Amino acid sequence: MFYYVDVSGANRQLDSFEELAMPLFDPLYNFAHWLTQNREEAEDLVQETFAKALKGFSSFQLGTNFRAWMYRILRNTFLTSRTGLKATMTVPLEGEEEERLEPAERDTPETILFARSSHETLQKAIDELPVHFREILLLCEVEEMSYQEISETLSVPIGTVMSRLSRARQSLRNRLRPDFQAAGTRAIAKRTDVKGTDHGL
Amino acid sequence: MVCESWNTKFDTYLDGEVPQEEMRSFHAHLHNCPSCASDALSRVQLKRAIQVAGKRFSPSTSFRQRVQNTIAPKRRRSSRLTWAFAAAAVAILVVATLSSGYLGNRSGRDQVFSEIADLHVATLASSSPVDVISTDRHTVKPWFQGRIPFAFNLPELQNTDFSLMGGRMTYLEQAPGAHLIYDVRKHHISVFVFQERSLPAKLSDSSLKPGKLSFNMETWNQGGLRYFVIGDASAADINRLVNLLKGAA
Residue B189 has φ and ψ, to the nearest 5°, of -120, 130
B45 in reach of chain A (CB within 8 A): yes
Beginning with the edge strand found earlier in the chain, give each strand of the sheet holding B132-133 in spatial order: B132-133, B162-172, B175-184, B187-195, B225-231, B216-222, B206-208
Q: Give the pLDDT score at A42.
A: 95
B51 in reach of chain A (CB within 8 A): yes
* Residue, of B75 and A70, whose pLDDT is higher: A70
Q: Do A63 and B119 lie within an 8 Å CB cutoff?
A: yes
B7 in reach of chain A (CB within 8 A): yes
For an interface test with A, the pick among B41, B50, B82, B113 (most A C-beta atoms closer than 10 Å) comes out as B50
Closest-approach residue (CA) in chain B for A60: B174
User: From the CA of A148, how many Å to the nearest CA of chain B?
Assistant: 7
Is pLDDT of A71 > 50?
yes
Helix (H, G, I), strand (E, B) or coil at A90: coil
Looking at every residue in chain A, the average pLDDT score rounds to 76
ipTM score: 0.74
Of A4-8, A64-68, A185-189, where does mean pLDDT reach its minimum? A4-8
Taking CB atoms and an 8 Å cut-off, how many pairs form between chains A and B? 154
Of A74-78, A90-94, B118-122, where does mean pLDDT reach its minimum? A90-94
What global pTM score does this model have?
Answer: 0.53
Query: Per residue of chain B (249 residues), what is the pLDDT tens digit?
Result: 457 777 778 888 889 898 888 888 888 888 888 888 888 888 888 888 898 899 999 999 999 999 998 888 765 554 555 555 566 666 666 655 554 544 455 566 777 888 888 888 888 877 778 888 888 888 888 888 888 888 999 998 888 889 999 999 888 877 889 999 999 988 899 999 999 888 877 777 666 655 545 688 888 999 889 999 999 888 889 999 999 999 987
Structure-derived torsion over alpha carbons of residues B74, B80, B86, B87, reported in degrees to the nearest 10: -160
| B74 contacts in chain A (CB < 8 Å) | 7-8
Residues in chain B: 249
Q: Give the pLDDT score at A39.
A: 94
Task: Report percent pLDDT > 90 for chain A.
Answer: 48
Closest-approach residue (CA) in chain B for A31: B57
> Residues with Cβ < 8 Å from A36, sequence gap 6 or more?
A42, A45, A78, A81, A83
Q: Give the pLDDT score at A131.
A: 93
B2 in reach of chain A (CB within 8 A): no
Q: Do A11 and B73 lie within an 8 Å CB cutoff?
A: yes
Buried b (16+ CB within 10 A) or exposed e, A95-120: ebeeeebeebeebeeebbebeebeee
Is pLDDT of A94 > 80?
no
B70: nearest CB among A43, A51, A142? A51
